[in-house]
Amino acid sequence: EELSVIRQQGGHDNLRYPMDNVIRDLEKNFNVPWPQTTWQLPTTCAVIGCSGDGSLDVGLEPLLDKLLERINTASGPYQMFEFLGDMVLFESNAGQMQLRYLEEVPLRHFHARYQGFPRLTWVFRYNDFFHGPKVLGEGRVGATRAQDAHRSHFLHPMLAYFPSGEENATMRHWLVEDVFTQWNGQDDRVPLGKFLKRVAASVMNMTADV
């Protein structure tokens, strides 16, 4: 399967990405964890902005910053779009919500490994219909505004939230295509922050019911 993906997405130049994954996965046998960043969030209304003012609580700022940093700099998910991506795991522990950010993972395998956790992923992807003459045609640009990001044609970031035990995403968020691959503006940051608040609210509600 991985060799098939390599052929489709750049041949042997991209062999290093799945090889890195194999090495990282084998390192767990020597107690070397997958590259990750962790945060602790208090499971309170403040985290998800219960005041309704629309602002992003400071508790989610590190996650927002990390996502945008990775989206703007990560090479593996860009080169091997829809195969490699980043995954965020939400783990409840003694009144705290721990976020584990795993970088550049083979998504299919990690979804199976962590299906018991609420999880957020992001990948780069093309529009399903962006091929053939359309690639060079007048309609090659699918979207130019954040509110139309889901209509993007060219390679663009897509985030998806999967509740615990679910194989299918229940929430998605797109960042609008950009030929310069830069997603640093307020039109990127603000909608993504609102999406993270909805994800956090869903996770909090789910863990409260357990």
What pLDDT does 102 receive? 95
Q: What are the DSSP E strand ranges found in the chain?
A: 36-42, 84-93, 96-106, 119-125, 156-162, 171-174
Predicted pLDDT of residue 186: 94
What pLDDT, on the 0 to 100 scale, is given for residue 172? Answer: 97
pLDDT recorded at residue 2? 44
On whether residue 24 sits in a domain, the answer given is: no
Within-domain flag for 9: no
Q: What is the pLDDT of residue 127?
A: 79
Within-domain flag for 64: yes
pLDDT at position 134, please?
A: 63
Give the model's pLDDT for residue 93: 72
pLDDT of 105 = 92
- H or E segment and range at residue 78: helix 76-79
Domain assignment of residue 3, yes or no: no
Number of domains the chain is built from: 1
Determine the Cα–Cα distance for residues 154 and 141; give it in Å rounded to an integer.
7
Nearest alpha-carbon partner for 174 in 135, 136, 142, 202: 142
- DSSP letter at 1 equals -
Decide if 27 is inside a domain. no
Write down the pLDDT at residue 44: 57
Structural domain boundaries enclosing 116 = 34-209
The answer to whether the pTM exceeds 0.85 is no
Q: How far apart are CA 160 and CA 108, in angstroms?
A: 13
User: How confident is the model at residue 83, as a pLDDT?
Assistant: 87
**Is 118 a member of any domain?**
yes
The predicted structure's pLDDT at residue 34: 73
Average pLDDT of adjacent 10-residue blocks, the chain of 210 residues:
44 52 52 77 54 56 94 90 92 81 92 95 84 64 82 90 96 93 93 93 71
- pLDDT for residue 28: 59
Q: What is the pLDDT of residue 54?
A: 44
Specify the pLDDT at position 152: 86
Contact by Cβ (8 Å): 76, 15: no
